Amino acid sequence: MTDPSRLSAGEAAARIARGELTSVALAEACLARIAERERTVQAWRHIDTDQVLEQARAADRSEPRSPLHGVPVGIKDIIDTRDMPTGYGSPIYERHQPAADASCVALLRRAGAVIMGKTVTTEFAFMTPRETRNPHNPEHTPGGSSSGSAAAVADFMVPLGYGTQTAGSVIRPASFCGVVAYKGSFGALPMAGIKPFCPNLDTLGIFARTVADTTLVRQALAGAPGVPELPESPPRVGICRTYEFPEAEPCVGEALEAAAAAFAKAGATVAEVTLPAPFAGLVEAQSAVLAYEGGRAYVSEYLHSPEGLSPGIQAMIEEGLAMPYARYADAWALGRRCQAELAGLLGEWDTLVTPSAPGEAPAGLGSTGNAVFNRMWTFLHAACVNLPVLQGPQGLPVGVQAIGAVGGDDRLLGLAAWLERALAEA
């Protein structure tokens, strides 16, 4: 029998529902994998074996509540949990215990899922790395800020994990670690109880083994369809290298070409798409908005606990507080213009496929990597799905991301499932 820790969330839940697997057996398999690998990967901030097994036993005693019943999920440690500490990746909140679950956690409990524990995040989901390592090579970063969740799902410690994205914190680590990830379009998934950084950009995301697994979580969170609806005919796929493509390693171009060939072989209409000229300024505009709003979100910590802040986040707060409002307003004016142009492009093309990251996960743990291929899409509030494609020259994963319209999450997930199948068949 397959080791339960290797099952996708959908496969595991179906076996539990049929009585072929218990939630306890699944949880024990995941805990065994964590015991075997955690010293190397260091993906978890908090995990309590007794608490995990108590939840699993309760799931086994009750009738299935949803297609996620009995399935363990890792929770990024900027997301509040009422029965587990939430430290936001900062020594300032080392002993912080929230009074209530974030909505996304409470909805998982309502669905009968098992809250496995808290996964490592960078400091306040910004750029200062923590201890987590890439499971494919521990000398390389897993990416960030959702480092622990991406690494835990990639290393078969848990079938599902939550992340958040304000710049590239879901799609980039998914690419680096070689897992599927879905970042919702802005407002598509509940954010109550998640520590804000940039309230007009922060978005919840899901790490999983398959696109179909992400839809199970979306169903629990939003009442959306639990099975991705495949397009009735082969889609129109625009290959979009973006204005940042000169910063990509050769393996990124190879991944795009391999993906394009696989999609065309499966019957898709595939062609190169050049973005309108104003899109060239979006990365800089997103960086300005992030600093402006981030500086204001963390002014209390800056005033009252500066000794607990890293130099990097202190510099960001100072930059944001000093930024003229006119620069912030100009950035959003460009964003609104490009949001309208993106809507037009996604009327011509079913999805745009673009790099997820500049290349393989960089060596060393001093940085989580560059979000240059993510900032634009987060700023435009687009839905995004990472799909693993190939291994680069260092043997590490390289992915591409499919882009969908704001509010078009279900359609994008159906398209992503079609693309995922095309890649598998190729």
User: Catalytic site residues?
Assistant: 76, 145, 169
What is residue 57's three-state secondary structure?
helix
Q: What is the DSSP letter of 267?
A: T
What is residue 108's three-state secondary structure?
helix
Tokens representing residue 23 in the block? 């939630």
φ/ψ (deg, to 5) at 253: -60, -40
Comparing C-alpha atoms, which of 133, 38, 123 is closest to residue 87? 123
Rounded distance between C-alpha atoms, residue 351 and residue 408, angstroms: 10
Tokens representing residue 341 in the block? 């142009």
Strands 203-208 and 269-272: unpaired
Rounded to 5°, the CA angle 105-70-385 comes to 60
Rounded distance between C-alpha atoms, residue 188 and residue 180, angstroms: 18
Rounded to 5°, the CA angle 331-378-270 comes to 115
What is residue 353's three-state secondary structure?
strand
Instruction: Tell me the CA end-to-end span of the chain in Å, nearest whole number.
Output: 27
Rounded to 5°, the CA angle 224-230-235 comes to 125
Helices (H), 62-180: 103-110, 147-154, 171-177
Rounded distance between C-alpha atoms, residue 78 and residue 96, angstroms: 11
C-alpha dihedral sign at 326, 329, 331, 337: negative
φ/ψ (deg, to 5) at 403: -110, 135
Strand ranges in 21-125 using DSSP code E only, listed in sequence order: 44-46, 72-76, 114-119
Strand ranges in 62-113 using DSSP code E only, listed in sequence order: 72-76
